[in-house]
Each structure stands twice: as C-alpha cells, then as structure tokens.
Amino acid sequence: MTSQLLSGATGVLALADGTVLQGIGVGATGDAVGEVCFNTAMTGYQEILTDPSYMAQIVAFTFPHMGNVGTNVQDIEQMSGAAETAARGAIFRDVPTAPANWRSDADLQTWMARRSVIGLAGVDTRALTRRIREQGMPHGVIAHDPQGRFDLEDLIAKARRWTGLVGLDLAKDASCLQPFVYDEGLWNWPEGYAQPLPEPKYNVVVLDYGVKRNILRALTSIGARATVLPASTSAEDVLARNPDGILLSNGPGDPAATGAYAVPEIRKLVDSDKPVFGICLGHQMLSLALGARTVKMEQGHHGANHPVKDLTTGKVEIVSMNHGFTVDRDSLPAPVMETHVSLFDGTNAGVALKDRPVFSVQHHPEASPGPTDSLYLFERFAGHMDAAR
C-alpha cells in the first residue's frame, strides 16, 4: 500500500528503523538502497558523487548550498562509466541552485538524472548528521517520484533486508576489466590538464580497486607512466611488467572481503622489495598484508577538511577522507610503524615499513576534492623509486 505523505513531498529517505524523512526529489527517479553517511566538504560535490569509494552509499552533504558551480565532464573521478560504481544517492539541505561557473556544462540536477543518481532536498541535514554521529551510519533507501507515490512500508523493508558493507567485495565491480595506460596530468590554471613527459621517469603499475582519475593524474605529474591493471591481477603479472613502483588504489567495500584475493598478492609485492604506495582501501589491504586488522567504523570519515598529523615530519595537514573501515592501530605488528594519525578521533591514517620502501595512507592525497596538503606523498613515492634504482 502507499502510505500518506506530507503534501508536496516528491522524495523520501526511509531508514531501516522505520524513520522516514520527506522532502523534494531531485535528479534521477526511482529508489536506491545503501549506507547513509555524511560528508562535511564545502566544495567538490561532483568529485564526491563520482568517487568509486562511495559505491553502495548515500551521501548527505552537511554544507547547505550545492550546485552553484554546476558540473562538467572533466571533474568526474570514476574511471568506469557505470553509474552504480559510485554514490547511489545524495541528500541536500536546499534544492541545488542554478550553476554560475565558466567550466559548467550542465546543472547538478540534470547531471544527476543522466547518471542515475537519486537526490533528496529540503530535509534537516543537521539533524540527520547528528543522528549518524550518535547512532552510526544506517541502512536506508532514497526514493524520488515526481507524483509523490511511495510505498513506505516496502521501502523500509528494503532497507532492513540490505545486508550492508561488512563482508562485501565491491572492488571487483569498480575495477577496470582490461589494462590501460593513463596519460593526463594535474590541472593548472590557465593551461588545463598537464601533458605527460615525452620520456616518463618511472614505470608505475596501479592495481585498480576503484581508482580515482586524479590519483592517476598525480602519478603522471611526477613523471610516471601509469599502467592500470584489474583488481584481480596476480603479483606475478604485476612484476612481469618490471615496474619501478606499485600503487594500491582507493576503492569501495570491506577491505577484508576484497583482501581474500588481493592480500596474498600484495604480500608477494611487498616481498619483491619494489616501492609500494597504498591509498585508502589500498592502505587498509596493505595493512592486512602486513599483519594488522581492519574494523568497521560507526560514522566513518567523509570530508575534505580532516586534520591529520604526519608523525614523520610533525606537520599537521588538512586532507580529504572517505572511508567507513579503519586499520586497528593496536593490531599493527612490530615491523610496521604508524606514520599518520587522525586528529579528529586518533584513528590510524598511515603506516610504513621501517626496512622497505612500502607505505600507505588512509586519506586521499590527490586532493579531488580537497586541499593539496598531501600531494607531497607522490613525491615521497618518487623518492622511493629513485632510491630503489
């Protein structure tokens, strides 16, 4: 049956505990199930909604005004063209505004509809954020029907049936199917995206668990030829390409689930003494390969304004975060040292081996979206590759 809604409601968020938030539907129509998280970034909504790390999640933006810079084809982060390999939905305080930016080629609502991203506006995102902070990230269904017809009982039941992210390997769906070489550098005003060096300095293999374009651009900008391989690639196939370094990318899902096939290969890569750099999911699975544990977080870290301390330099940097699992710092074995820590809650944000050129960070140093404080990590990776030669 169709339950009664407030007059004018064309969008809803139905949570597994029976809570229903009503508002204005935007973007695509239909419904989608996922884990509801909040993101505290003030900019970069397009990069956030196309980040494969948000696969199977519904993102509530704490900043009230979205849409003012529109969207464009350059700021899409996912490599896969499939809409389901990024965020399933978005929640806004206000209806997205009309764009006013010279780079825009579409407004946010139209872009969301084209990409099958369901949106809900006109809800109290502060109250939703407070709920997530106190009770954790709930399972929910976001729905949009211009006629305002919703079977709320069915939507709530769908949210309850969803099993969640624990035990879910999503990297296999977010990963590329065939190897490819990426040859675009970071964006700079007024030139645009940089061109690769005529003769690359480094040959880097990227294991794609849901890699972001700007990570590949950052590699190109340090002089690397970035060859991207599927998540299931064996260590033998990686090493057969004689890389100067190996990057373990970001991605969605439970690191322990993806690690069932990825971690044994990562161990072999570590044992090869090649420089290894892990980011986000890559950091978590590298930590698993080194003997640590990962655990599900209650609220996760999602935003472009998170303070992290680099324990190797003593400096504090503001970074982009997007993760719902974390490395249990108490489980780090003796050969592993903690290199970065979140100043929000003290959770681990980076590790390194003392005797090998192997390191990783939980945050997103490619700065898309977010500040460029952590771009130095790509130079650190380049330094490891220089030393290994």
Active site positions, annotated: 280, 364, 366
The Cα 12–Cα 15 span in angstroms is 10
DSSP 71-101: B-STT--BSS--GGGS-SEEE-SSPPPPP--
Cβ-based neighbours of 90, under 8 Å, separated by 6 or more: 27, 45, 49, 58, 59, 60, 61, 112, 117, 118, 119, 120
Q: How many CA atoms lie within 13 A of 227 on its CB side?
A: 17
The Cα 166–Cα 153 span in angstroms is 25
The Cα 66–Cα 98 span in angstroms is 9
Instruction: Pull the structure tokens for residue 248.
Output: 């373990």
Q: In terms of DSSP bridges, do strands 336-342 and 348-353 run parallel, antiparallel, or are they unpaired? A: antiparallel
Q: Work out the angle between the directed axes of helices 255-271 and 281-289 (0-180°, nearest 10).
A: 60
Q: In terms of DSSP bridges, do strands 202-208 and 245-248 run parallel, antiparallel, or are they unpaired? A: parallel
The Cα 389–Cα 53 span in angstroms is 33
Instruction: Pull the structure tokens for residue 212.
Output: 């972001």
The Cα 154–Cα 273 span in angstroms is 53
DSSP 149-206: ---HHHHHHHHHH---STT---HHHHS-SS-EEE----EETTTEEPPPPSS-SEEEEE
Kindly report whether the peptide bond that precedes residue 357 is cis, defined as omega within 30 degrees of 0.
no
What amino acid is encoded at 65 in this protein?
A: H
The number of beta carbons lying within 10 Å of the beta carbon of residue 198 is 5
The Cα 294–Cα 276 span in angstroms is 19
Classify residue 187 as exposed, middle or buried by CB count within 10 Å of its CB (0-12, 13-18, 19+). Answer: middle
User: Torsions phi, psi of 289, nearest 5?
Assistant: -65, -25
